[in-house]
Amino acid sequence: MNALVDSGTLEFSFYYTRGGLLTPQQLAQILNCCYLYCSWEGNLHHVTVTEYPGDRMVDAWINANRSGLTETESQVLDYALDLVQNWTACTSDPWELELLIHDFLAEHILYTDGNVYFDGPNNVPRELTAIGALQDGRANCQGYVDAFYLLATLAGFQVDRMSVQTPYGGHMVNTVLLDDQWYIVDVTYDDMDEASSLNYYLFNVGTDRIREYSWTPEMEYRPIADKTDDAFYYAHQDTLFDDPQTAASYVAQNWAGGEACFQFAVQGQTEDQPMNDALYDALMDTGNPFYYTYWYYCDETDMYFTLFLE
C-alpha cells in the first residue's frame, strides 16, 4: 500500500484476510497519510488517501508542475527551496546538512498539541502540516515531520514517515536513509522548547536506542537499523561518554572561557548528581571562575545533557 501511495496511486482496494477489518485509524498509521477515507465490502477495503502538503510540494518540485498546489503551498515551497539552497551553499557534507535542517526546525517551531480532529481533507489544521511549521512557526509532531520530510527531500535525502506508540499516546517520526541504513530522526522530541534546551537523543537512531517507542510490523515501512552507529549525533561528535568524569574532563578541556554550550551523553547513568559533582570538580581544577546550568533527558539507561557554561 505504501508503494502505491509513493507512486501516486491514492485510490485503491485490497483484501485483508487476517481476520476482522482494518479501521481508518489503523490504515492511516500504516500509510502515514494526512487523511484517509475507507469503505468496506466484506473484507474488501476501498481506500482514498489524502497526502500531506509536504508530499504535494515535493511532487510539484519533482515534476516541475505546481498546478495542484494552493497559493499557500506554493509560497511555502519557495521558502523551503530558498532555505535548502542556503544550507547546501554552506556544506556539502550530508550529515551536516541534515543537522542544519534538524536545528532550524527545532529553533523556529513552537510545539503545540493543536486540534488533531477534523472532518475532511479540506479542513486539515495548519499546525498538522509543513505550512504551520514553516509559515506559522507552530506545529504538532505531524507538522514537524511534514516539514522535515519536505526540507530533507529537497536537500537530496530519502525520507519517510513512521507512526509509533509512546507512553503518552500516538506519535509520528521521520525515517531517513543514510549509507544504506534507515534511522529514526525525531525533531519533535529533540525540541524541548524549554530554555533553548535542544538535544539530539533521537537524531539518527536505530532500534537499540528506541526505548520508549513501539510499533507494529505493518507500520515499519522502512526497515529501521538494528544498531545505532556513527550517524547518531553524539557518536558523530565524539561526545558519547561511558562515565561522568570523562564527560566532565571533556567539558573542562574544551571550555575557553566565556559563554559556551556543550551537548554530550553519558551511558549507564540515570541520576544527574554524579555528573554535577564531576563537572564541579573538573571546572574547579581549571582555576577559572565559572557558572553553569544544565538540562538533561534520561531514558532507561543513558542521560543526554545540554550544558550552559560561563
- Per-residue pLDDT tens digits for 60-113: 999 999 999 999 999 999 999 999 999 999 999 999 999 999 999 999 999 998
Distances (CA, A) of 164 to 28, 30, 37, 211: 12, 10, 21, 12
Alpha-helical segments (H) within the chain: 2-6, 24-31, 53-63, 71-90, 94-108, 130-131, 141-154, 187-190, 233-236, 244-254, 273-284
* Residue type at 50 in one-letter notation: T
- Tell me the CA distances in angstroms from 16 to 45, 100, 242, one per residue in order: 7, 42, 48
61, 205: one domain = yes
Is 77 in the same domain as 226? yes
Query: What is the domain-level CATH number for residue 191?
Result: 3.10.620
Q: What is the pLDDT of residue 85?
A: 98
CA-to-CA separations, 199 to 107, 149, 185, 194, 211, in angstroms, rounded:
11, 20, 12, 11, 16
Shared-domain flag, residues 72 and 89 = yes
pLDDT band at 119 (very low <50, low <70, confident <90, very high): confident
* Identity at 143, one-letter amino acid code: G
Considering 180, 215, 234, which residue would you say is the last residue of a domain? 234
Identify whether residues 250 and 225 lie together within a single domain: no
pLDDT at 197 (0 to 100): 67
Cell of 15: 483484501
pLDDT in tens, 212-259: 899 999 899 999 999 999 999 999 999 999 999 999 999 999 999 899
Domain extent, residue 104, equals 53-234
> Is the per-residue pLDDT at 116 higher than 90?
no
| Among 215, 234, 253, residue at a domain's last position | 234
**Of residues 141, 117, 111, 112, the one with CA closest to residue 129:** 141
Q: Is the model's pLDDT at 120 over the cut of 90? A: no
| pLDDT tens for each residue of 249-295 | 999 999 998 999 999 999 999 999 999 999 999 999 999 999 999 99
242 and 172, same structural domain? no
- pLDDT grade, residue 193 (50/70/90)? low
125 shares a domain with 100: yes
Angle 287-290-293 from CA coordinates, rounded to 5°: 145
CA atoms of 157 and 174, how far apart (whole Å): 12
Q: Are residues 158 and 136 in the same domain?
A: yes
Categorize the per-residue pLDDT at 152 as very low, low, confident or very high, splitting at 50, 70 and 90: very high
Regarding whether 29 and 104 lie in a shared domain, the answer is no
My answer on whether 134 and 112 are in the same domain is: yes
pLDDT band at residue 196, thresholds of 50, 70 and 90? low
Please count the structural domains in the chain: 3
Q: Which three three-digit cell numbers place residue 158?
A: 530519502
pTM for the full predicted model = 0.94
Q: What is the pLDDT of residue 115?
A: 74
pLDDT grade for 20, boundaries at 50, 70 and 90: confident
142 and 103, same structural domain? yes
Backbone torsions φ then ψ of 236, nearest 5 degrees: -65, -35
How far is it, in rounded angstroms, from Cα 294 to Cα 97? 27
Pull the grid cell for residue 215: 510499533
Q: Which three cell numbers stand for residue 262?
A: 556543550
Average pLDDT over residues 34-47: 94
Same domain, 61 and 157: yes
Task: Kindly tell me if the per-residue pLDDT of 142 is higher than 60.
Answer: yes
CA distance 42 to 146: 34
Half-sphere exposure of 305 (CA within 13 A, CB side): 29
Point out the domain boundary residue: 198, 215, 234.
Answer: 234
Residues 31 and 43 in one domain: yes
Average pLDDT, the chain: 94
